[in-house]
Structure 1
Amino acid sequence: MDWQSIITDPLLSELPFKIELNAWGKVEMTPATNLHGLLQATIAVLLRRHLLDGKVLLECSIETAKNIKVAAAAWCSAPLFARHGYRMPYPESSELVVEVASPSNRLSELIEKRELYSARGVQEVWICEETGEMRFARPTGPLTRPLICPGFPERVEL
Structure 2
Amino acid sequence: MRWEEVCDNKQLQDLPFKIELNKWGQIVMSPVKIKHSFYQGRIQRLLESLLKSGEVMPECAIDTSDGVKVADVVWCSEERFDIIQDQVSASIAPEICVEVKSLGNTSDEMEFKKNLYFAAQALEVWLCNEQGEIKFFSPQNELAHSLLVPDFPKQIKR
Structure-2 separation of matches of 1:92 and 1:157: 31
Give yes or no for contact 2:62–2:92 (8 Å, CA) kept in 1.
yes
Moved segments of 4+, more than 3 Å: none
Q: Helix, strand or coil for the counterpart of 1:72?
A: strand
State the shift of 1:23 in Å.
Answer: 1.5
- So what's the TM-score if we normalise by structure 1? 0.98
Corresponding residue for residue 81 of structure 2: 81
User: Which string of whole-angstrom CA distances, capped at 9 and with x for unpartnered residues, describes residues 49-87 of structure 1?
Assistant: 111200001000000001100000000001111121142
User: Which string of whole-angstrom CA distances, capped at 9 and with x for unpartnered residues, describes residues 64-123 of structure 1?
Assistant: 001100000000001111121142200010000000011122221111011111111100
Corresponding residue for residue 62 of structure 1: 62
Alignment of 1:1-158 (within 5 A): 1-158=1-158
- The residue identity in structure 2 corresponding to 1:7 is C
Structure-1 separation of matches of 2:110 and 2:54: 24
State the shift of 1:14 in Å.
Answer: 2.4
Structure-2 separation of matches of 1:104 and 1:92: 27
Taking only aligned residues, the RMSD between alpha carbons, in angstroms, comes to 0.8
State the identity as a percent: 37
- The residue identity in structure 1 corresponding to 2:16 is P
Structure-2 separation of matches of 1:137 and 1:84: 23
Give yes or no for contact 2:84–2:92 (8 Å, CA) kept in 1.
no
- The residue identity in structure 1 corresponding to 2:94 is S
User: Would the alpha carbon gap of residues 16 and 99 (structure 1) be closer, same or farther in structure 2, given more than 3 Å must change?
Assistant: same
- The residue identity in structure 1 corresponding to 2:44 is A
Higher mean Cα deviation, 91-100 or 104-113?
A: 104-113
Structure-2 separation of matches of 1:87 and 1:98: 20
Structure-2 separation of matches of 1:47 and 1:86: 23
Name structure 2 gaps, 5 residues minimum. Answer: none
- So what's the TM-score if we normalise by structure 2? 0.98
